[in-house]
Amino acid sequence: MHTHRDLLAVHDDQVRGSIEVRMPLTWTAQWDGPLLRVTTPAQGIAFAKDLEGLSVTELDLLIQRLRDYFSKRGEAVEWKTYGHDRPDLPARLRLAGFNPEETETVVIGNAAELATDAEPPHGVIIRETTARKDFDRIAYMESEVWGKDWSWLAEDLASRCETSPDDVAVLIAEADGQVVSAAWLVGLPGTEFGGLWGGSTLKQWRGKGIYRALVARRAQIAVSLRMKYLVVDASDASSPILQRLGFQKVTTTTPWVWSPRT
């Protein structure tokens, strides 16, 4: 059993420390000191590390440069913060016009222990896919779940599968030919981790065991790919389920978003 401190250390070293080398082809990145500035088909994303050595003034200037860069592009940008980052980071982001979105819980589990035989409910079939038409169907389902245009997701999944075909597994859950849920396993090359992404489910199909079955199926694939750990940025809805399955809470993560419309 790993302690909380052990898991946090390995997360920061392997997961946070490997972002630049595992991006899909449609993403581009550039370092600005301790900040990795990333452009994607959807919006900008920023990842930072080792901010403790910056003065408040230096941190404010770093935030402003990020905001100004995406302002010129007319795009929104998300700074992905963690609960164990320097304590004044949220306040400095807020002063620069960034606003917080929903905080998620970072949980980590042992892949071998999570690779159970959990099955989906009667009438639901889970299968792995690499077909672009399925990625489009997944994007349509996600758009329905979140009430936003998620059409960009199809290209993102296609790019990931093209970039690292041996490290990505996309699972689709169907009932009567309809996509009711989908989730994907993303291996983090050079690490012992696989990330569990997706898992959104149509409202009428929630609470029936689909999410649990998708976790188990992806854990089985992770074990076959020699992944030791699984990590999830879990919502309030999925975090309790994952912790009951054996995941451990490690930290929290909150996206702070600046938009040219605000």
Q: Are 12 and 115 in the same domain? A: no
Q: Looking at the 3D structure of the chain, how many domains does it have?
A: 2
Q: Are 232 and 153 in the same domain? A: yes
Average pLDDT, the chain: 93
Q: Are 177 and 192 in the same domain? A: yes
Q: What is the CATH number of the domain that holds 129?
A: 3.40.630.30
Q: Are 36 and 121 in the same domain? A: no
Q: Are 26 and 65 in the same domain? A: yes
Q: Are 71 and 171 in the same domain? A: no
Q: Are 125 and 54 in the same domain? A: no
Q: Are 95 and 129 in the same domain? A: no
Question: Quick check: pTM over 0.85?
Answer: yes
Q: Are 92 and 129 in the same domain? A: no
Phi, psi of 225 (to 5 degrees): -95, 10
Q: Are 159 and 190 in the same domain? A: yes
> What's the pLDDT tens digit per position in 47-58?
998 899 999 999
Question: Which residues share a beta bridge with 258?
Answer: 77
> What's the pLDDT tens digit per position in 13-33?
898 877 887 787 888 999 999
Which residues have a Cβ under 8 Å from the Cβ of 102 and sit 6 or more positions away? 235, 236, 254, 255
The type of residue at 243 is Q
Q: Are 94 and 114 in the same domain? A: no
> What's the pLDDT tens digit per position in 207-259?
999 999 999 999 999 999 999 999 999 999 889 999 999 999 999 999 999 99
Residue 134 exposure: Cα atoms within 13 Å on the Cβ side = 21
> What's the pLDDT tens digit per position in 143-199?
999 999 999 999 999 988 988 889 999 999 999 999 999 999 999 888 999 999 999
8 A C-beta contact, residue 251 and residue 82? yes
Burial class (CB in 10 A: 0-12, 13-18, 19+), 110: middle
Q: How many CB atoms lie within 10 A of CB 40?
A: 19
Per-residue confidence (pLDDT) for residue 1, from 0 to 100: 52
Q: What is the CATH number of the domain that holds 70?
A: 3.40.630
Q: CA-based Rg of the chain, rounded to a whole angstrom?
A: 19
Q: Show the domain range for 125.
A: 108-250
Q: Are 73 and 139 in the same domain? A: no
